[in-house]
Amino acid sequence: MKKLGTFYGIGVGPGGDEELLTLKAVKAIENSSVIIAPAARKGGDSIALDTAKNFIKEGSEIRVLHFPMERGKWEDKVYNNFKLIEEKLLEGKNVAFLTIGDPLLYSTFIYILNHINEEGYETKVIPGINSFCAAASLSQTPLVLGDESLLILPASKIDELRDEKFVVIMKLGGKEEEVLNVLDEKGYKYVYVSKAYREGEQILRHREEIIKNRNYMSLIIAEKEVN
């Protein structure tokens, strides 16, 4: 019986800085003959692929797969992309799926992984530096201290914020003003980081600057001030 390939989910870090890949990630990329990278737009570029390109061995098959943002088209596209990956695994080829950040945090990889696991293929997930850890390091902002909790939530759930001391707000999607209204009302200090470790990165701490310079690739780290 022909040996099946191994499927690797590889986090390449925040994107834009190849030095933030782990040694394990680099070895997994070098051990793969098929490289898969997601793109939000058909024919678009992949930040993950651009970040890891220098570690891809010569002769590897590289596929940039379209994962549309429109939810109505999502399930069929994910399944079709899974079938392409499955075909390579059945040929005995190791397949590396590259993703910015960590493969198991707000990642397209998770949807592919569900199909992979249902079919029982050998899978290895290589963690990557996630966006809020990268943003915290870049801005030198503590994420959480002592026995406190850290709340991570998307901007669409900002109304669920109560009195948690340490908060990360992700997936801002143009909701910066709405998020800042809540943080200001509840007495939080905050830092806004966009394009961490990439060209054009910004660290902003003032409301007006944040609203003026809003960017899709961004997040907010907040801490409730003690009176």
137 & 92 share domain = no
Query: Are 103 and 43 in a shared domain?
Result: yes
Establish if 23 belongs to a structural domain.
yes
For 57-70, write each residue's pLDDT tens digit: 999 999 999 887 66
pLDDT at 74: 74
CATH number at 214 reads 3.30.950.10
pLDDT score of 22: 97
Same domain, 117 and 15: yes
Exposed/middle/buried for residue 127 (C-beta within 10 Å: 0-12, 13-18, 19+): middle
What tens digit of pLDDT does each residue of 78-114 get? 999 999 999 999 999 999 999 999 999 999 999 999 9
Expressed in percent and rounded to 5, the helix, strand and coil fractions of the chain are 35, 25, 40
* Residue at which a domain ends, from 126, 157, 191: 126
Tell me the CATH number at 75. Answer: 3.40.1010.10
Same domain, 181 and 219: yes
Q: Domain check: are 112 and 166 in the same one?
A: no
Report angle CA 89, 91, 92 to the nearest 5 degrees. Answer: 65
With respect to residue 2, please indicate whether it lies within any of the assigned structural domains. Answer: no
Classify residue 216 by its DSSP letter. S
H/E stretch holding 127 reads none
Give the domain range for residue 167: 131-224
